[in-house]
Amino acid sequence: MESILQRRIERLRRKLNKSGGERGFKDPKVIRMSQELDQLLNQYYEANRYQQLSFW
């Protein structure tokens, strides 16, 4: 089942790719989106890490 966090990540990833293609990946707005995506990915990996640890 896809989580809300996963949907946010995919939506932002698509937006980032589109904006990067249009504005360039050095554009400040694109860089901010990239940083936001990094934060979401870190949240996702942390959540999954604890789920995997609780399995053992």
pLDDT exceeds cutoff 80 at 54: no
- Reported confidence tier of residue 53, pLDDT bands at 50, 70, 90: low
* Host domain of residue 17: 4-55
Contact by Cβ (8 Å): 41, 9: yes
3-state secondary structure the chain: CCCHHHHHHHHHHHHHHHHHHHHCCCCHHHHHHHHHHHHHHHHHHHHHHHHHHHHC
Q: How many domains does the chain have?
A: 1
pTM of the model: 0.83
pLDDT in tens, 13-37: 999 999 999 999 999 999 999 999 9
pLDDT score recorded for residue 2: 78
Q: What is the CATH number of the domain that holds 22?
A: 4.10.280
pLDDT score recorded for residue 51: 67
pLDDT score recorded for residue 56: 54
